[in-house]
Amino acid sequence: MARLLHSGATPVRRGLPLGVRMAGAYAAADAVVLPSSWEGFGLPLIESAIHRKPIAVGRFPVARELAAYGFRWFDVDDVEPLRAFLSDPDPALLDHNEAIARTHFGIDALTRRLEKVLGPMRPHHNANRKEEHHHDRTRDQHQNTSLPSLEVADGDTGQERL
């Protein structure tokens, strides 16, 4: 992999340039390389699938755990398959990995897991929230007339709902 990276016609970036967000970095990438031998969770493995980018992965425990879900990655020690993919991309591979990531690790999967854990629990409803908000807004308007007034929709507690 090191030989391929050094001989590449395009620059290899490590870290995000100032002002660039992660989604922009993935959008600009042709491929992701994760040569780690150890990761806490291996978020780039999931992110690369969500952003539909091929990834070359080193051998580390979390990668083995996540691979059990059925992800298909390139081996960081064998550059030829990744090079071939980049020359002639197969959208089916990206479709496959994206579907696994969304099914098992996407926001819908998180919501399902939280529902199982939290079950009948519901967010605490503060009946005085609207009144407190009104008093805060009125006080802020008197202290600084440049602040915009914010309206709270009827029944909105301002809390997240699962």
Q: Tens digit of pLDDT per residue, the chain (162 long)?
A: 677 667 767 676 677 888 989 888 899 899 998 888 777 777 899 999 999 999 999 988 999 999 999 999 999 999 999 999 999 999 999 999 999 999 998 888 888 888 888 886 766 666 555 555 555 554 444 444 333 333 333 333 333 333
Which of 136, 129, 135 minimizes the C-alpha distance to 153? Answer: 129
Three-state SS for 33? strand
Give the residue carrying structure tokens 């993919």: 85
Q: What is the pLDDT of residue 158?
A: 36
Q: What is the pLDDT of residue 130?
A: 54
User: Exposed, middle or buried by CB within 10 Å (0-12, 13-18, 19+), for 122?
Assistant: exposed
Q: What is the pLDDT of residue 115?
A: 87
pTM score, whole prediction? 0.62
Determine the angle formed by the axes of helices 91-105 and 107-118, rounding to 10 degrees.
20
Q: What is the pLDDT of residue 48?
A: 95
Contact 73, 49 (CB under 8 A): no
